[in-house]
Chains A and B, each alone.
Chain A
Amino acid sequence: MSQTVKHFVLLSVFSLGLAGCASDIYAPPGGGDRGAQPAPQPPRVEEGEAPGSPRLSEQPRNERQQERAPTPGYQEQGDDLSPAAISLIERADALMADGQAEAALSQLERAQRISPRSAQVYFKLAEAYARTDNLGAAEQFTMKGLSLAGSNSRLQKAGWELLASIRHERGNVAGAEQAEKRARAL
């Protein structure tokens, strides 16, 4: 791995910010003790809609809704890393510092399973792949991280810089310049 990439990929988790707030979770009714309870009933069947008797339309009935339906959800930024994911990333950092990038990847994938909606975890995966000279994977993980950075300009900047250095290393000069431009604009 070249010095350029090394220079840019040394993203400390801390420099990427780590509030540990967990997002809302849906809990099934029954206080999680559903083992003792029957599975929830299927949707209440409206007349003429019983699974046995055909419903004529695949479309819903009331086209005109009186109440405005809940708007589809979105969020401006990805999730923060959970403390458990941070501890795994720290383990991965220690392994990478020790030259064990492959072992670090295992820990980072565990972190990804815990905080799959945080941009940071993908940037760290990109770093580990860059260290194993797998620049194609490094670029993909950087872009995945960028797709979750949202309006967080610090993460956007870090991501575009990382992407620029990886593309540079791959010999994609135009792509690298484009990424640098994005980083500078932030």
Chain B
Amino acid sequence: MLVLLAGWTVYLDAVVTSRFEGRRFEVPSRVYARPLELYDGAAISASALRQDLELAGYRSGDGSRPGTWQQNGSRFLISTRGFGFADGDEPRRRLSLTVSGGRVTGYRVLEGDNSPIIRLEPAEIGGIYPAHGEDRVLISLEDAPPLFEEALLTTEDRSYYDHFGIAPLSIGRAMMANIKAGRVVQGGSTLTQQLAKNLYLSRDQTLIRKGNEALMALLLEWHYDKRDILETYLNEVYLGQTGSRSINGFGLASQFYFRKRFQNLELHESALLVGMVKGPSYYDPRRNPERALARRNLVIDLLEEDGVVEPAVADKARSAPLDVAARPSWSENRYPAFIDLVRRHLARDYRQEDLQSNGLRIFTTLHPAIQEQAEKVTSQTLDQFDQGSSNTRLEAAMVVTSRDSGEVLALVGGRDAGFAGFNRALDARRPIGSLVKPFVYLTALSRPDRYTLITPVKDVGLALEFENGQRWEPGNFDHKQRGEVPLHQALSRSWNLPTVRVGLDVGVPAVIATLQDFGVTSDINPYPSMLLGSVTMEPVAVAQAYQGLATSGFNTPLRTIRDVTDANGEALSRYKLEVNQVADPAAVHLVQYAMQEVMREGTGRSAYRTISENLGLAGKTGTTDDGRDSWFAGFSGDLLAVTWVGRDDNGPTSLTGATGALPIWTRFMATIPQHSFSPVVPDGVQYHWVNSEKGVLTDEHCENARLIPFIVGSEPQGFEGCDGDFSRRLRGWFEGLFQ
């Protein structure tokens, strides 16, 4: 029997030491959204501001206690808590501002460091957790706020510094206290026993388990000193549950319940957390505020009785409200598709086990308001498509980036955005159809000696015969042939025959080279069918390629992460903005003209039935055979968005780019305050009034006159006014005079 006990003790000792040392350092990484930056002129709507505040754990209140905000009409009072960013601390401030017309005005710092721009604390949007789902923010004993240790020991284990793991005396004292109070106010277990229970044992109440617990407590005390054990207890104690994750330790609990750092807790907050140890769910201050308040005040009573705090201090703490922050949004991984991309980017530089256990802080580019809007619009639009139609089980994906920085602001992986399944934005690889056309025409327009926007292109059928005897006979979507059309119209109307002719003229290899310059990495078969988009790409890869078209020919690698720091805020990596010129800005400018024409007159013009004409947009539709893929890729001054609609089984649909992907894109764009797309005319480009059908310069007020950009030297030489139409010219002259 004795041998058995000795053997068992040796076994438990091994368990105790290995688990105690191993477990102390496992801290998941935290993932943050981009912080909201507020300044005069910032583009934001009132609802998006409220949403950002709520996500960052702000409460609607008086706007003067840190972490509260108040709205009065369009005026906001915001009191920030301050935050340690990778590039320095953002101090606590109080500010007032007005949100109107989609932007911030009247920004003023009322209290704190004056600055024309401030950052709110970023919303926490997820974490990278160890497999067992336990979450914690590591703290050290030195971090404990004043009176915290006293409150904990007074309530849970008065003789902590005197016992050797178990305390028969304290069991008796607990019984006395309970009798005095008429209910259970103290447990008999020492902190060490509680820790042993948490670390190693199941929750069942058996004598054997109690015996093991006592034995392990003794072993813990024998191996480690009191401070070490207490510190581990502070980090291990179970204090709540959110979804599948448990809230362990006072560090995380401070964040979870108060949105505060452990160090900054006030007495009434410390008392609440200490009180909750007894039953985190029973005393949950969000669900059972009255019980929690009574329990908290009991802890304060005990401190007062023991003379740890003066009666006046105790009274003040007892009269304070619970002060619990709004329930944080990161209770679950709310944006699984986006986090998926973040993880893939992180995997380039970090090992999975480091992410799960080293408590890294990952600052991402996610824009919560834009993400929510993208998700909402995608699922709503697909639901409408479903109604009374043959389009069953349509799926969709969407990628939204910041046009000039390449930051990924939102990512939708499917119609059920909360579901962490197949991420179509990253993994659905589909033929891009007409989305390839801007690259075909860019290749052509880069040769101004040969092509301009008004170069006439044959819109006449053709057949290609290959060496193996195969024939390829492309046709227009509407099966019509128009003889000859100006190049800009061929692109804006997405006609196939002119595209194939231009593509064959400049050469398929040249078009492939252009695509590769713009960051396309997928294999491209060098067949003429690639000119109509047989090349397959994922939505995120399309967004990458279009980034160069949306800027002035500069590739900007997509990024989801700005900074990674360690748990103490020390910078580990920074992912910088990069630009890389891959095309002549002048040629890109011409393509951008035609892509704006797509929206004004071409295949994308239905967008302006929803969006105000004042918002300048550019884009391109894409459709593949039998509507298997419906694409739209387009941009404003601020945002680039790519949408895809189709079926997971690659089956046919009745959609085109204009009727499937474009409505999602349009409804999304319509709700975001943003600037127009209005490209700067680059060096070497000049606008001329031309009659694009006749290919001549003309007068501004002639019929069919268009203001079209040309690379200098490639503009037409001939001129043809509008003879005979004297009254029109006269009217034009007057209009010109008074403009």
Contacts and interface: CB of A to CB of B under 8 A. Distances in A.
B659 A150 contact: no
A36 B46 CA distance: 11
8 contacts: A26-B676, A33-B46, A51-B660, A58-B656, A59-B495, A74-B709, A103-B88, A144-B554
A24 B687 CA distance: 23
Contacts of A173: none
B404 A112 contact: yes
B478 A32 contact: no
Given A53-B654, A58-B621, A87-B115, A73 B101 contact: no
A57 interface: yes
A73 B596 contact: yes
A28 B673 contact: yes
B344 interface: no
A42 B666 CA distance: 7
Interface stretch (B58-66, B352-360, B424-432, B575-583): B575-583
A28 B497 CA distance: 38
Contacts of A97: none
Given A51-B655, A51-B659, A84-B116, A27 B621 contact: no
A26 B564 CA distance: 34
B673 A32 contact: yes
Top 6 A-B residue pairs of the complex, sorted by shortest distance between their CB atoms: A52-B389, A35-B47, A27-B102, A72-B596, A32-B45, A116-B404
Contact of A70 (B40, B600, B610, B656): B600
Interface string B582-609: 0001000100110011001111011101
Interface in A40-76: 40-44, 49-60, 65, 69-76
A43 B676 contact: no
A90 to B, nearest CB: 10
Interface of A: 22-29, 31-36, 39-44, 49-60, 65, 69-78, 82-84, 86-88, 102-103, 105-107, 109-110, 112-114, 116-117, 122, 125, 137, 140-141, 143-144, 146-151, 156
Nearest to A144: B579
B680 A43 contact: no
Contact of B381 (A29, A42, A144): A42
B519 to A, nearest CB: 15
B391 interface: yes
A24 B614 contact: yes
Majority SS at the chain A contact face: loop
Nearest to B41: A22
Interface in B35-51: 37, 39-48, 50-51
A177 B578 CA distance: 26
A140 B579 contact: yes
Nearest to B477: A58
A51 B389 contact: yes
Contacts of B245: none
Contact of B613 (A22, A70, A74, A106): A70
Given A25-B43, A32-B45, A52-B390, A39 B585 contact: no
Interface in B645-679: 654-660, 662-663, 666-667, 670-679
Interface in B284-302: none
B200 interface: no
A172 B324 CA distance: 62
Given A52-B391, A147-B552, A24 B676 contact: yes
Contact of B674 (A25, A40, A44): A25
Contact of B615 (A26, A36, A56, A141): A26
Contacts of B603: 58-60
Contact of B37 (A22, A114, A117, A150): A114
A106 B363 CA distance: 13
Contacts, number: 263
B680 A74 contact: yes
Interface in B360-388: 373, 376-377, 380-381, 384-385, 387-388
Nearest to A129: B576
A44 B318 CA distance: 60
B456 interface: no
Interface residues of B, number: 115
B465 interface: no
B673 A23 contact: no
Contact of B678 (A28, A73, A107, A116): A73
Contacts of A58: 434, 477-478, 494, 603, 621, 623, 656-658
Nearest to B101: A27
B493 A60 contact: yes
Contact of B39 (A24, A35, A84): A84
Given A24-B675, A58-B603, A140-B581, 4 more contacts: A34-B671, A39-B373, A113-B402, A116-B403
Contacts of A106: 86-87, 574
Nearest to B493: A59
B641 to A, nearest CB: 14
B475 to A, nearest CB: 12
B681 interface: yes
A39 B667 contact: yes
Contacts of A141: 579
A40 B612 CA distance: 12
Nearest to B682: A147
B376 A39 contact: yes
B553 interface: yes
Contacts of B687: 74
A33 B494 contact: no
B571 to A, nearest CB: 9
B50 A35 contact: yes
B389 A25 contact: no
Contact of A43 (B405, B609, B616): B609
Contacts of A51: 384-385, 389, 391, 654-655, 659-660, 663
B242 interface: no
